[in-house]
Amino acid sequence: MRMISNIGKWLDRRLQLEAPIRDIAEHAIPRRSASWWYVFGSGALTVFILQIVTGTLLAFVYVPSAGEAWNSLQALNHQVTLGWFIRAVHGWGSNFMVAIVLIHMVQVFLFGAFKFPRELTWLIGVCLLLMTLGMAFSGQVLRFDQDAYWGLGIGASIASRTPLLGPYLVKLILGGPIIAGATLSRFFALHVFIIPGLLIASVSLHLFLVLKLGINDWPMPGRIVTKATYAKQYEDLLKVDGAPFFPYGIWKDMLFSSFILFAILACALFFGAFGPSGQPDPTIIQTVPKPDFFFRWIYALLALLPPSLETPALLLGPVVVIAVLVLLPFLAGEGEKSWRRRPMAVLSVILTALTLGMFTHLGQYSPWSPIMNAWSAQPTPEMFLHNRTALERKGAAVFQEKQCRNCHALGGSGGLRGPALDTVASRLTQDELIRQVLQGGGNMPAYRDNLTPPETTALVSFLATLHRPGQPPAYDASRSVVETSNSDAAGGHR
Amino acid sequence: MTTTDGTISRRGLIVKLGVLLNSAAALAFAIPIVRYLFEAFSRPDAKGYLSWISLGPTSQFPEGETRLATYRNPYVTPTDGRTADLPCWVRHIQAEQFQVFAINCAHLGCPVRWFAQSGLFMCPCHGGVYYRDGSRAAGPPERGLFTYDCKVEGGNLLIHAGELPTPGSPAAAVSQRKPLCA
């Protein structure tokens, strides 16, 4: 014990760090700010450190080469002792990191912590959010599998739409003419050197500002922030109701951090590592690429935006979002802090969360994607074939063979790209069915060149059987008139 | 650095010289570093990425059918592995008339799949659909499939390729003008 204390003294005689560390640990915070609401920043820092440790461990085995990366991930998963576990922790750590950073940001926003004098802290926080998302995307690329390969193609396609600079940006992202070795190498540099370096620097500055300016005071409705009076108010608050961060505040941070670490550990153990999915071999085209969870909402947006809005939304959307985040502390740097007196702030958080949540949910089951093997893997349910004529059954076969099922569901199975056809005959008359099949429209391809007249007749006679039970199929009243007059005319000739 | 009578002291001058020399050195390093990083911006076509590549004898592609073909990208680096093996769809219309489509959807680049029975290309990502001639049928794409320039030489089918086709790349626009190869 004595020896340790002596070594400590020897070191501090030279480093002289004891006093500044004590100052930092015991800096005064407003007593009410020692709250469970204030633990997300330190939680994010804990996960960040975990990511650095596990990321470094992965780099012991991972090979950043387009030819070898996938194999090295297989080795990590199956050969290296506990390689799968380190991958799982890094993967789950990344999900927790994004989630906690987002929650931290919402808390800061709702508690008005971005207001004077903490504008710069907020701005650096915005950069940290963007870098965290950059890490999540580049990390997905380093898991160099089919999703990563085609995801890069999507990234390049988006970048290519930039006016004038598009083609140059594509080559800048890819590092060459195609998605290949150079692409992975530059994403490795981004994920392992550039962004982490910037993150460490920005996190340090972020923390430095928190210490310098003090943690945000608990927002009280009616306690207005003004540039003239805030510093004095905060100082008085610390005098009246201040307490040292250690131990009054830190214990909640420590408990939350350990909770998060155990949660990541549990997820890693129970759910395991993410992928990799199939090999990054572009000639294997039997693949349905999907982005990772936190980018699913973009995937959904890209499928649902009208084509004419897509490019402007892709190019202007991020600019507008970043501009709003950057301008926020300057446009609303003073005034009420409490969310109880800021209904628009609460509404915008709810609206954003609902929007992102809804698009993420849609991205999860992607109803806009045709199910590529529905036509061969999901047979027509039996109930649609009972008591049908030979022609109608032939029509069911045509329906199956022409891949209609890839986009249309029957009996709850099949694609969701087009409407389910269980009761299509209740909506469309035979003539309308023929027109729709041959001419397409409403986001359906025209089949006139791919169906012979007998096939069309069979198909439509099958579709005409798909109506609600006990309800006749849709019928065009004028049809009987035409048919009668036709037969009259025919009879007249006889 | 300046003395009281306004002249520059010797040390002041040397410090300024130091700043100047280090700035010059920084610039000397910066120019090659920026050119290294932004190679794509300085000379986009100097490497000659595009060239004529053989997809093999035309007999591999039966008339009236659309088949998947693969080729090795003309520009490769040692670490490319299989990523330099690229697929494309070859449609043999008749005689020596061919159409060669890029695998990448004209929306955002996912791999489109050919369905011979319905004569459609379908994209698994956002549901883009194209007809057999590559024209847009449905879904979010604003245009038809990217088409490579192609020609038949000595019984082999050749395509002019080497770059990832993207909605904004000039190569994609050029090839759209000449869809059929004779």
Is the backbone peptide bond immediately before A247 cis, with ω within 30 degrees of 0? yes
Instruction: Give the pLDDT band of residue B105 (cuts 50, 70, 90).
Output: very high
Mind telling me how many Å the CA of B128 is from chain A's nearest CA? Answer: 8
Bridge partners of residue B92, in order along the sequence: B98
Of the two residues A448 and B4, the one the predictor is more confident about is: A448
**Binary contact (B110, A302; C-beta < 8 A):** no
Bridge partners of A242?
A30
Q: Please give the C-alpha separations between residue A476 and each of A425, A426, A473, A486, in angstroms, as whole numbers.
A: 12, 12, 10, 16
Distance CA A487, CA A478 (A): 14
> Collapsing DSSP states into helix, strand and coil, what is residue A28?
strand
Amino acid at A442: G
Mind giving me the DSSP string for A265-292?
Answer: HHHHHHH------S-S-TT---------
Spatial separation of the C-alpha atoms in residues B54 and B153, rounded to whole Å? 9
Asked if A488 has any chain B CB less than 8 Å from its own CB, the reply is no
CA neighbor of A100 nearest in space, from A50, A146, A151, A41 = A41
User: Which residues of B fall within a CB distance of 8 Å from A161?
Assistant: 167-168
| Binary contact (A171, B113; C-beta < 8 A) | no
For B67, the 3-state DSSP assignment is strand
The Cα of B111 is separated from the nearest Cα of chain A by a number of Å equal to 6
Selecting from A166, A172, A289 the residue whose C-beta is nearest the C-beta of B110 gives A289
Closest residue by Cα to residue A135 from A23, A254, A55: A55
- Across chain A, how many H-helices and E-strands are there? 22, 2
What gap in Å lies between CA B72 and CA B87, rounded to an integer? 9
Which residues 252-311 of A have a C-beta within 8 angstroms of B?
A: 279-283, 285-289, 299, 302-303, 305, 307, 310
- On whether the CB atoms of residues B75 and B107 are closer than 8 A, the answer is no
The Cα–Cα gap between A77 and B25 comes to: 47
Residue B46 has pLDDT above 80, yes or no: no
Residue A48, amino acid: F
Amino acid identity for residue A75 in this structure? A
In B, minimum Cα distance to A172 occurs at B40
* CB-based contact B169 A444, cutoff 8 Å: no
Tell me how close the Cα of B90 comes to any Cα of chain A, in angstroms: 14
pTM of the model: 0.90
Contacts of B70 in chain A (CB under 8 A): 283
Measured between CB atoms, which of B81, B126, B142 is closest to A66? Answer: B81
CATH number for the region A34-365 comes to 1.20.810.10
More confident residue, A174 or B42: A174
DSSP string, B7-66: PBPHHHHHHHHHHHHHHHHHHHHHHHHHHHHTHHHH-TTTT---EEEEEEEGGGS-TT-E
- Residue A90: CB atoms within 10 A of its CB come to 23
Identify residue B63 by its one-letter amino acid code. E
Q: How many CA atoms lie within 13 A of B23 on its CB side?
A: 6
Which residue among B104, B119, B163 places its CB closest to the CB of A177? B163
CA dihedral A360, A362, A363, A366 (to 10 degrees): 170
CATH architecture of B51-177: 3-layer Sandwich (2.102)
Distance from C-alpha of A389 to C-alpha of A238, rounded to nearest angstrom? 86
Residue B172 has pLDDT above 70, yes or no: no
* The amino acid at B39: E
Please report the pLDDT score of residue B177 as a whole number.
47
Q: Return the pLDDT at A266.
A: 97
Alpha helices (H) along A61-194: 69-78, 83-110, 119-142, 146-160, 166-174, 181-189
Closest CA to A458 of A385, A380, A391: A391
Quote the Cα angle for B95-B98-B101, to 5°.
Answer: 160
Task: Report residue A37 as tokens.
Answer: 């609401």
Whether the Cβ atoms of residue A238 and residue A214 lie closer than 8 Å to each other: yes
Q: Where in A164-246 does DSSP place strands (E)? A: 242-244
Backbone φ, ψ for residue B148 (5° rounding): -85, 145
Q: What residues in B contact A180, CB-CB < 8 Å?
A: 73, 76-77, 79-80, 83-84
CA distance B25 to B21: 6
Whether residue A335 lies within 8 A of chain B, CB to CB, comes out as no
Rounded Cα gap, residues A443 and A201, in angstroms: 50
**Amino acid residing at A482:** V
Closest of A482, A23, A379 to residue A212, by C-alpha = A23
For residue A369, give the chain B residue with the closest CA.
B127
Predicted confidence band of residue B174 (pLDDT cuts 50, 70, 90): very low
> Which contiguous run of DSSP H or E holds residue B87?
strand B85-94
Token couple for A295: 């980018």
> Which percentage of chain B shows pLDDT scores above 70?
87
A125-134, B7-16, B124-133, range with greatest mean pLDDT:
A125-134
Say whether pLDDT at B170 is over 80: no
How far CA A323 is from CA of A124, A259, A348, in Å, comes to 14, 35, 16
Cross-strand bridge partners of residue B97? B94
- Please state the domain extents for chain B: 10-42, 51-177
Optimal mutation site among A154, A295, A408, interface B, most CBs of chain B within 10 A: A154
Beta bridge partners of B8: B2
- Contacts of residue A65 in chain B, CB cutoff 8 Å? 79, 81
Q: Coil, helix or strand for B97?
A: strand
Predicted interface score ipTM higher than 0.85 = yes
Those of residues 177-196 in A touching chain B at CB distance below 8 A are 177-182, 184-185
| Domain boundaries A374-478, corresponding CATH code | 1.10.760.10
| Gap between the Cα atoms of A180 and B163, Å rounded | 11
Q: Per-residue pLDDT for B173 more than 70?
A: no
A67–B81 CB contact, under 8 Å:
yes
Ranges under pLDDT 70 in chain A? 489-494
Q: How far apart are CA B124 and CA A285, in angstroms?
A: 10
**pLDDT tens digits along A446-467:** 998 889 999 999 999 999 888 8
Residue A257 DSSP code: H
